[in-house]
Amino acid sequence: MSATRELLRESRFDNLSVADILDAAGVSRASFYFYFPSKQAVLGDLVREAVAQGQQAARPWTDQEQDPITALRAGVTDGARLWRENAGVLMAIVESWGSDEGLRELWLEQMNLFTEAATARIESDPHAGPRLGPTRARAVAASLTWMGERLYYLAAASVPPFDDEEVLIDTLTTAWTSILYGDSMPELPPRER
């Protein structure tokens, strides 16, 4: 898994072969296939690891441990760091899930974890819940989750203006807070927005 992670820092997943992974890891073909049926399975495990870290990053907001705006900004900031550290892996899944049914199922399942957590948080939030109502909470949660996925991907791909981490964090934080809270939450000083 470590060898694949390193290879994905320099190579696109679709250009990567099992032989490349074997060479980089210094393992035999039999050893590889004992643990993994395919390179997609290796990517799947790497993606699950990264998503677990992402869920941990979101906990201050989803678990209502801090005020919502501070928690959202912290989660977005940790998400940006997570994508930076796992850029090859996360870019690989985003670029591959549309062409491989197993990776499609995996990515939709993983993204749904974020959507479900956000939906539960929105519905229980005394400000966002009434603002959106129960019928719109899931759609809004899914929209914000997928918007985050796309902007983190653009940042990892060094696409301006999101290659500037501060712009990325400010944009995502503003999107989440304005949609969920509008003017119903106290204004943060400009530096923390």
Judged against a pLDDT cut of 60, whether residue 129 lies above it is answered with yes
Judged against a pLDDT cut of 50, whether residue 189 lies above it is answered with no
- pLDDT tens digits for range 145-176: 999 999 999 999 999 999 999 999 999 999 99
- pLDDT tens digits for range 73-114: 999 999 999 999 999 999 999 999 999 999 999 999 999 999
72 Cα distance to chain centroid = 14
Judged against a pLDDT cut of 70, whether residue 191 lies above it is answered with no
pTM of the model: 0.89
Q: What is the pLDDT, as a whole number, of residue 88?
A: 97
Q: What is the pLDDT, as a whole number, of residue 185?
A: 52
Q: What is the pLDDT, as a whole number, of residue 184?
A: 55
